[in-house]
Chain A
Amino acid sequence: MRAVLFRLAGALPTLCGVVLVTFLLTRVLPGDTATYFAGPTASAESIAQIKASLGLDLPLYEQFWRYIIALVHGDLGMSLTTGQPVRMELLNRLPASAELTLCALFLAIGIAVPLGVLAAVRQGSWIDHLCRIVATAGVSLPVFFTGLLLIYVFYFLLGWLPAPLGRLDAFAMAPHAVTGFYLIDTLLGGDVETFRAAAAQIVLPAGTLALFALAPIARITRASMLAVLGSEFIRTARASGLSSGTVVLTYALRNALLPVVTVLGMVFSFLLGANVLVEKVFAWPGIGSYAVEALIASDYAPVQGFVLTMAVLYVLLNLGIDLLNRAIDPRARRGA
């Protein structure tokens, strides 16, 4: 517990840095908010008026000071495009992104870890070659391309899956929000039909993201398993006649998972980034697509809020990875 608080405190300077950098970046980016909202026909006078009302005519340090004060009160500002508080919109959209990312991650782990393990245990077999192909394809195909390809095949050609238009089709009712995850909320509400609809919607975007995450996970699992299987304690386990299941799963895999967990942290942060594109392609109402739209409109507050959210998620993610490592490795537990 103390280690957790310590880590969180250690992340504070990073978060302060993120606040400062995003503030400055949004100010130096091309595009002028006031001009954008005043419209193409606006006079210089009305633009100045809008500027004054948004506080954009103040000196930069004054703007930053106001931003910090608001931030301390949990106020992330207003979105100019939608007229809604950014905090509320981010919180409303976060579950959509989280559900998508987690689905993708679990899908990727569920495929890549067994694939990597089998490839290492049966080195040189067809499954090893499959693993290599997946690892190469995964890194060489860009996310938006696999996304569009999957839509083309499964929606347009085969018609197996619904149109890529968000979390549910227009006729379905969103489930009563408990966790904000449709797949869980529908089941909690006992609504199997909506669950099916939500699952059909999430398959393609989650699959697209998972394809992207598969490669590094499969590759590191295979390499790490191979290294562990060649180590001396595995020889001892075999010399003691332990069954091959115990040797591979209890002895080898648990040791091999240490580097895999570390890579998972990296993959997860890649996924957060790739999310932005995938949400755009699949009209997924998450925080990524929200941020992209705001960025195009030179709407600062949502972009700042988005980056800050990502930074917080990233800190929490690293903390989670750390805890997972401690759970697996006694040396990490006793060391600190």
Chain B
Amino acid sequence: MTDVLRVEDLSVAFHTRGGVVRALDRVGFAVEAGQTMALVGESGSGKSVTAYAIMGLLEAAGRITGGRAFLGDTDLVATPAAAMARIRGKRIAMIFQNPRAALNPIRGVGKQIADVLLRHGGATRSNAWDRAIDALRAVGIPDPSRRAKAYPFELSGGMCQRVMIAIAVAARPELLIADEPTTGLDVTTQAVVMDLIGEMARDTGMATILITHDLALAAERAGRIAVMHAGHMVEEADTASLLAGPRHPYTARLIAATPTAAGSLESLQSVPGGLPDLRSASIPHCRYAARCERSVPGCDAVLAMRPVADRHAVACWNPL
């Protein structure tokens, strides 16, 4: 299968008053066309930073210090800002958590969709509004011609996330990055929103990166899972093999920490220890070593992802 996105050795540093934060270190993964890949890891592991770096949306303090991110043949890292603005929204789109805050509060939602259609979707001034209404209908918003005139504060969180999805898929991108798209929504709405994303992806052949710290959600929705820890990629595999046989101790801990319908709550264990300080000059090669019960003397050697089975790679000197 061809890859829509191939990220290689992506490194990002933030220059802060407290020092340089090496938030991403040589992160690599690939997303196949039409596939849903989940990017999981606990809070602060660098999932969002990875997405922003790929999109060219890092804030001013953040710099990509190395690596490539190929969208088809285009290296997004090397693409100048003005050209990136024409790729964003057209070939690669993104939706965020907290959809109501992610929409312009004083612009009607129909106009916000029309803005994107005018920019990328080949719409004209005369048909942009009608096409925006069509887009609202396509994401299952009832009475779309009336809702198009509504402002975000007049819509529920779930409706706002549908609008966000309509904006993101307006120009039929090859890849959608969904950064915790269901955080802050109630459980039934979460399922509806995830179904909608899956449906849009199937209909348009779009690939999806689902960013979440919820391994259960990832297992349910994604064909492939990449696990991040403290700015490192630690394991990447097809969902079934990752869940059945995790090779990285951190992945095993994450799986143990995930509630399942069958398992009782007592068996839930959180991952012990905390993330290392990414500002220090001498971060160990394995950023998990300090928290790891399997660490051995050889763990302080230079570490990289290496294949351990078919379509299964891990970065560990002492894998399970």
Residues of A with Cβ closer than 8 Å to B? 123, 231-233, 235-244, 246, 250-251, 254-255, 328-331, 334
Q: Which of A231, A239, A246, A330 contacts B88 (CB 8 A)?
A: A239
Contact between chains at B86 and A241 (CB < 8 Å): yes
Q: Which residues of A contact B86 (CB under 8 A)?
A: 241
B102 and A232 within 8 A (CB): yes
Of the residues B55, B101, B104, B170, contact of A237 by C-beta under 8 Å: B104
Name the A residues within 8 Å of B108 (CB-CB). 330
B8 within 8 A of A: no
Picked from B90, B103, B153, the residue with its CB within 8 Å of the CB of A241 is B90
Contact between chains at A255 and B85 (CB < 8 Å): no
Alpha-carbon distance A238/B55, docked complex (angstroms): 9
Type the 1/0 row for B109-127, where 1 means its CB is closer than 8 Å to any CB of A.
0000001100110000000
* Tier of interface size on chain B: 20 to 34
The answer, yes or no, to whether B191 is at the interface (CB within 8 Å) is no
What sequence of 0s and 1s flags, for each residue 55-95 of chain B, a beta carbon within 8 Å of any chain A beta carbon? 10100100000000000000000000000111111100110
Q: Are A242 and B119 CB-contacts (below 8 A) given A251-B104, A255-B105?
A: yes
Contact of B93 among A235, A239, A331 (CB under 8 A): A239
Q: Is the CB of A334 within 8 A of B154?
A: yes
Whole-angstrom distance between the Cβ of A125 and the nearest chain B Cβ = 12
Q: What residues of chain A lie closer than 8 Å to B102, measured between beta carbons?
A: 232-233, 235-236
What are 24 A-B contacts defined by CB distance under 8 Å?
A232-B101, A233-B101, A233-B103, A233-B105, A235-B57, A236-B164, A237-B104, A238-B85, A239-B89, A239-B94, A240-B115, A240-B119, A240-B167, A240-B170, A241-B88, A241-B120, A242-B85, A242-B119, A246-B119, A250-B107, A250-B115, A251-B104, A255-B104, A334-B154
Q: For the complex, what is the distance from the CA of A251 to the CA of B112, rounded to whole Å?
A: 10
CA–CA, A330 to B98, complex, Å? Answer: 20
User: How many angstroms between the C-alpha atoms of A246 and B104 in the bound complex?
Assistant: 12
B106 touches A240 (CB 8 A): no
Which residues of B103-157 are within 8 A (CB) of A? Answer: 103-108, 115-116, 119-120, 151, 153-154
**Which listed residue (A233, A238, A328, A331) contacts B153, Cβ 8 A?**
A331
Complex contacts, A233 vs chain B, CB 8 Å: 101-105
The 9 A-B residue pairs whose C-beta atoms are closest, nearest first, are A241-B89, A241-B88, A240-B89, A239-B94, A232-B101, A330-B151, A236-B102, A233-B104, A240-B116
CB contacts (< 8 Å) of B98 on chain A: these are 232
What's the dominant secondary structure at chain A's contact region?
Answer: helix
B154 → chain A closest CB, angstroms? 7
Extra 11 A-B pairs, beta carbons < 8 Å, given A240-B116, A251-B104: A232-B102, A237-B104, A239-B55, A239-B94, A241-B88, A241-B89, A250-B115, A254-B107, A255-B104, A331-B106, A334-B154
A240 with B105, Cβ < 8 A, contacts A232-B96, A246-B115 known: no
Provide the bound-state CA to CA distance between A272 and B167, in Å: 47
Chain B residues contacting A331 (CB-CB under 8 Å) are 105-106, 151, 153
Q: Is the CB–CB distance between A255 and B119 below 8 Å?
A: no
A240/B93 in contact, CB under 8 A: yes
A residues within 8 A CB of B151? 330-331, 334
Is B168 among interface residues, defined by CB-CB distance under 8 A? Answer: yes
Task: Enumerate chain B interface residues (CB-CB to A < 8 A).
Answer: 55, 57, 60, 84-90, 93-94, 96, 98, 101-108, 115-116, 119-120, 151, 153-154, 164, 167-168, 170
Chain A residue numbers with a CB within 8 Å of B116 are: 240-242
Please state if A241 and B85 are interface contacts (CB–CB under 8 Å): yes
Chain A residues whose C-beta falls within 8 Å of the C-beta of B164 in the assembled complex: 236
A236 vs chain B, min Cβ distance (A): 5
> What B residues does A240 contact at CB under 8 A?
88-89, 93, 115-116, 119, 167-168, 170
Smallest CB gap from B177: residue in A = A239
State A123–B154 Cα separation when bound (angstroms). 34
- Expressed in whole angstroms, the minimum distance between the Cβ of B319 and any Cβ of chain A is 36
A215 to B103, CA, bound (A): 31
By a CB distance below 8 angstroms, the chain A residues around B57 are: 235, 238-239
A236, A244, A250, A330 — most chain B CB neighbours (10 Å): A236
CA A334 – CA B116 in complex, angstroms? 26
Determine the chain A residues whose CB is within 8 A of the CB of B106 once the complex forms.
Answer: 254-255, 328-331
Identify the closest chain A residue to B97 (Cβ).
A232
Specify the chain B residue showing the minimal Cβ separation from A234.
B104
With A241-B86, A241-B88, A334-B154 already in contact, the answer to whether A236 and B105 are too (CB < 8 A) is no
Question: Nearest chain A CB to B34's CB is how many angstroms away?
Answer: 21
Query: Please, which residue of chain B has its CB at the minimum distance from the CB of A332?
Result: B106
* Measured CA separation A235–B108 after assembly (Å): 17
How far is it, in angstroms, between the C-alpha of A143 and the C-alpha of B297 when the chains are bound? Answer: 75
Q: How far is the CA of A237 from the CA of B87 in the complex (A)?
A: 13
Chain B residues near A254: list those with CB within 8 A: 106-107
Q: Which B residue sits closest to A330, measured CB to CB?
A: B151
In the complex, what residues of B have CB within 8 A of residue A250's CB?
A: 107, 115
What separation, in Å, do the CA atoms of A334 and B155 have in the docked complex?
13
Measured between beta carbons, the chain A residues less than 8 angstroms from B85 are 238, 241-244
In the complex, what distance in Å separates the CA atom of A330 from the CA atom of B152?
A: 10
Q: How far is the CB of A240 from chain B (nearest CB, A)?
A: 4
Write the chain B residue with the least CB distance to A124.
Answer: B60
Is B104 within 8 A of A238, CB to CB?
no
User: A258 — nearest CB in chain B belongs to which residue?
Assistant: B106
**Which residues on the B side are within 8 Å of A241 (C-beta)?**
84-90, 116, 119-120
* Interchain nearest-CB distance for A334 vs B (Å): 7
User: Residue on B with the closest CB to A239?
Assistant: B94
Contacts of A244 in B (CB 8 A): 85
